Amino acid sequence: RIRPSTGSGRTVERLPSASDREIHNEREGAQRGEAAPPEPVEGRANVLVCLQAIQTILTAAQEAHPRECCGILLGDDRAITHAIPTANVHPEPRRHFEIDPRALIDAHKAERAGGAQVLGYYHSHPGGNAEPSATDRAQAAHDGKLWAIVAPTQGGCEVRFFRDGEERFEALSYAVLPR
């Protein structure tokens, strides 16, 4: 069941079903200075994400715990269609993440060959919040890519999406598509 959380994401008590289709607008993170609030898009979500991608992110976080999981977000101009788990090659995977460079190169090669676009990245904060950490902010490329961050909550896991802007992360609202 997906239910709105007090943060800028969704608390997931179980993997969402195909009937779980809702828009979730977020603003609290910006009030704490972590991310700019999402701009309303005529009642629509800033990001559309397929259910399969959300399920992959949640499963990767659960399987990696207590280490950080990480991966690549793929899709097109309309939506995130896939989340591809990658190895976390950081020497301290309980506190940091580093996407396997080979997986990133392969994803970019596939995109150039006509495959899905590399829209961004995801990772987990097993002992933290679903928002960019100080390390995330310091190491961000400021390239406009999407970031999904998942963290545990009392009721399950919270997933939040951000855009890595030129100066800071921008919190984004999102809607889950059934496929």
**Spatial CB neighbours of 95, under 8 Å, sequence gap ≥ 6:** 68
Distance CA 108, CA 2 (A): 32
Cα end-to-end span (Å), the chain: 17
Among 34, 68, 98, 131, the active-site one is 68
For residue 68, give the DSSP letter: P
Residue with tokens 């969402």: 16
- Of 133, 148, 151, nearest in space to 11 by CA: 151
**Token reading at 82:** 């896939």
How far is CA 81 from each of CA 84, 86, 119, rounded to the nearest angstrom? Answer: 10, 16, 10
Active-site residue, 68 included: yes
Q: 147 with 125: CB under 8 angstroms?
A: no
- Residues serving a catalytic function are 68
